[in-house]
A and B are shown apart, each in its own frame.
Chain A
Amino acid sequence: MNGINNPIIAPAPHFTKKGNTTRMTMAHVLIALAPVVIASVVIFGHLVILNVFFCVLFCMGFEILYNMLLKKKWNKQGLKDNSAWDLSSAVTGVILALNLPTALNIWGMNIAGEANANGIIPVYFSFDTVIACFLGSLVAIVLVKMLFGGIGKNFANPAMIGRIFLFIAFAGAFTGIYAGVGENGGILQGVTQATWLGEKFVTDAAGVTSLNINIPMLDMFFGRIGSAAVGEVCVIAILVGYIYLSVMRVIDFRIPLVVVASALVFVFLFDGLIVNTLSGMDYLRFVGMHALSGGLIFGAVFMATDYASSPKTFWGRLIFAAGIGLLTAIMRTWTSMPEGISFAIVIMNVVTPLIDKIIRPRPFGVAKEKKPKEAAANAGGTK
């Protein structure tokens, strides 16, 4: 047998699943995000694609530079072997960009036109937003991801922390009235502004404040409403991404369902039954509007399913998902933040190690230990 003089000696298994790499997984997420990006560009104009471009550029750039700097490889090899090419930082970049408004007005460095009759200012290019993308990416990649050890080691979703950082640092700029060029008129369409969650109550001519539940649901479903983040409005595009990720088995399809279901159940209990009093079918509409408003569905599909910052076991993930729903409902009902999902996800991210410690699968065939409580506590190990 000539020709096998130098065979590869490697441990079993000798073959692995084809096309199943970290990079492919991240590529699937990028593909799933594509409809959301396209929908956002259609609804909000060209600024969205610029935001996506800059966020991806900065996120990947930071990871490349970080690796080259800390591994002291300032050469082609350092560039080639960089962990950034697994595309996970690109995913972070896209999600971060989709969590931003079209344009931020922080220092007034925007190329903008005249305000129209509705007070909406068309923006052609926003330097402020580019700087915000830079800062958000810096926090997301360097602070949250790379300093904790890179992919798989981040304690929370990097894009989420990046967004929260920007949201807290430039709170006022988030709910501006800036629109990209290309929107076609409509009062709400094409403008990033406060969502229904922030303006649940309307005051009518007689001065009576009442709960506004009259936004057409179909408009909300197709994204013909205003929102503070460009990615979260077009529910149909998010659902397309959700179906793609579920079919490609990138995410467990049950987790987003549990997040949304738990959020809606608790919203119904807290915001619906305890805080506001509605009647009959209005409850259904109220819960439906909660579901379609804000980042609930976007967060459930793209952020609650983040691998590194969610528990490792199925039951752990269920607890995690249900916890996100509960915290979202609490924040939407009783805190001053109209939107709760991003904080809920970050809080549950931090709880993840605890869940992983408590939820331990029992090895196949091992019977439940029937020991006195003290002995079980001392023994540890398999539960």
Chain B
Amino acid sequence: MLRTFSGGVHPHGNKALSRDMNIEIMPTPPIVYIPLAQHAGEPAVPAVKVGDEVVKGQLIGAAAPKNSCNVFSSCCGKIKAIENRVLPNGMCQHIVIENNGKKDNAHLPPLKDPTPAEIIKRVADCGIVGMGGAGFPTAPKIGAKAVIEELLVNGAECEPYITCDYRIMKEYTEKLLGGILLVQKAADAKRVLIGIEDNKPDAVAAINAFIAQNKLENIAAVAIKTKYPQGSDRQLIYALTGKKIPKGSRSTSYGVLVTNVHTAFSVYLAVNEGVQSYARVITVTGGSVKQPKNLLVSTGTTFRDAVHFCGGINEENPPQKLVSGGPMMGTAVYTGDIAVTKTTSCILLMGAGEVDYHKESACINCGKCARVCPMNLMPMNLDAYSQAGMYHEAEKWGLKYCIECGSCAFICPAKRCLVQSILLAKSKTKGRKE
């Protein structure tokens, strides 16, 4: 029996579109728009002025005093403007850089045999954040003063369509493992488990082969059941360690640290090659992309440019929805002029056959949402109370524990917009004392 959690759904993976495409390095486009809020927390403060010349890897946004992260230039060029632009989750300041195509860079010197403190400092200096989507700065996380029993590396990639982590695991196994060992060293973790869904057996095999070849100890890649949301950290922790961590408490206080495959990869680049976090691997996919690909793109590249690099739009199947992120939790955006950030994992152009657009109908009380809820909530009740404006009642039914994975809305035969109404209730009760 493969390890997993209770609940969850089995959406069609659609990973075949891009899973066999090697990671391709996309040249930085002529103009990049680098957002200063690429992470959870306070936006960075501009460290450059309009008209300044910058080089690749130069600090352009300094971390705000609290809860923030550095932002780096992804190309050489001249600052054209500092302006407010749209991101999937709101407006923020962007630094617009005109790329002059030069190859200069401001990379840091590689560290040889670093101490944990050096690793943590380098991770902070390079502006590394959790690249699975949450975007929490990594340095305070791995530097937390807690006894870490287990370091879990999240390679589940449970969202349909997305294949970027899979490609990293397969193509950059050595660098990935190097990064994981660095994180392990920094966090002083006793054991490392890499959780990978069993629809990626070759990734598991590649990592385990590398581990066996180099005789690494206390580290293993574990195949876990392919089920959404397996990559949600609490579900992954439960599947791999059996520990149930309630929402609201930190996993480190339970002796578990979770990091993402791409984050570990970035840590390797930062420590061993001195490369700041200004590029990432994304998957550009969907039925409306001519040639779905996995790309290494510079942050600040617009969706428009990335899709153009993949051959543009498939005219026979024009996109109906443009999604930043995966189809289960991503955000539908209205324009292609949105920049790739450190946390963008996927650009998804859904064609006519993929989007299904239904009218909401009455709840039939089938209870399927409660059966699939990975947090063991009752989404139909949360929805009903939210629609009725009884937000306090929704709180009594565990509103705050919802992880917004969308499993309930996926399975709902009545096509209720459950996540939407739960989010509404959450926003209405935010900041209110219980």
Chain A residues within 8 Å of B, Cβ to Cβ: 1-4, 7-18, 20-22, 24-25, 83, 86, 88, 149-153, 307-308, 311-314, 317, 360-367, 380-382
**Partner among A3, A17, A360, A381 whose Cβ is within 8 Å of the Cβ of B411:** A17
**Partner among A13, A22, A25, A365 whose Cβ is within 8 Å of the Cβ of B419:** A13
B357 touches A8 (CB 8 A): yes
Interface-central residue, B9, B304, B323, by most chain A CB under 10 Å: B323
B231 within 8 A of A: no
The 4 closest A-B pairs by CB, nearest first: A365-B246, A13-B406, A363-B401, A365-B244
Q: Which residues of B contact A22 (CB under 8 A)?
A: 361, 364, 413-414
Q: Bin chain B's interface residue count.
A: 35 or more
Contact with A along B305-345 (1 / 0, CB 8 A): 00110001101001111110001111111101000000000
B363 touches A152 (CB 8 A): yes
Taken together as a complex, chains A and B put the C-alpha atoms of A214 and B112 apart, in Å, by: 90
Describe B's contact surface by its main secondary structure: loop
Taken together as a complex, chains A and B put the C-alpha atoms of A144 and B240 apart, in Å, by: 49
Given contacts A307-B365, A363-B375, contact A10 B321 (CB under 8 A): yes
Given contacts A4-B313, A10-B357, contact A367 B246 (CB under 8 A): yes
**Partner among B327, B336, B376, B417 whose Cβ is within 8 Å of the Cβ of A1:** B336
B414 touches A1 (CB 8 A): no
B66 within 8 A of A: no
**Partner among B361, B365, B375 whose Cβ is within 8 Å of the Cβ of A312:** B365
Contact with A along B367-404 (1 / 0, CB 8 A): 10011001111101100000000000001111001000
A382 touches B396 (CB 8 A): yes
B361 touches A14 (CB 8 A): no
A16 touches B365 (CB 8 A): no
B349 touches A4 (CB 8 A): yes
B328 touches A12 (CB 8 A): yes
Describe A's contact surface by its main secondary structure: loop
B190 within 8 A of A: no
Taken together as a complex, chains A and B put the C-alpha atoms of A311 and B334 apart, in Å, by: 41
By beta carbon, the residue of chain A nearest B361 is A22
B245 within 8 A of A: yes
Q: Which residues of B contact A9 (CB under 8 A)?
A: 332-334
By beta carbon, the residue of chain A nearest B321 is A8
B356 within 8 A of A: yes
Q: Which residues of B contact A14 (CB under 8 A)?
A: 321, 323, 327-328, 330, 332, 348, 350, 355
Q: Which residues of A contact B312 (CB under 8 A)?
A: 1
A12 touches B11 (CB 8 A): no
**Partner among A25, A149, A151, A312 whose Cβ is within 8 Å of the Cβ of B370:** A312
Q: Which residues of B contact A364 (CB under 8 A)?
A: 5, 234, 238, 244, 246-247, 374-376, 401
Q: Which residues of A contact B5 (CB under 8 A)?
A: 364
Q: Which chain B residues in 211-246 approach chain A with CB under 8 Å?
A: 234, 238, 244-246
Q: Which residues of A contact B419 (CB under 8 A)?
A: 11-13
Q: Which chain B residues in 344-362 approach chain A with CB under 8 Å?
A: 348-350, 354-358, 361-362
Q: Which residues of A contact B371 (CB under 8 A)?
A: 314
Q: Which residues of A contact B364 (CB under 8 A)?
A: 22, 25, 88, 151-152, 307-308
B398 touches A307 (CB 8 A): no
A1 touches B304 (CB 8 A): yes
Minimum CB–CB distance from B344 to chain A (whole Å) comes to: 15
Residue pairs across A and B with Cβ atoms less than 8 A apart, 28 shown, are: A2-B313, A7-B320, A7-B334, A8-B321, A8-B332, A12-B406, A13-B11, A13-B328, A13-B329, A14-B327, A14-B328, A15-B354, A15-B355, A16-B356, A21-B413, A22-B413, A25-B366, A88-B364, A151-B362, A152-B364, A307-B366, A312-B367, A360-B378, A361-B376, A363-B377, A364-B246, A364-B376, A365-B234
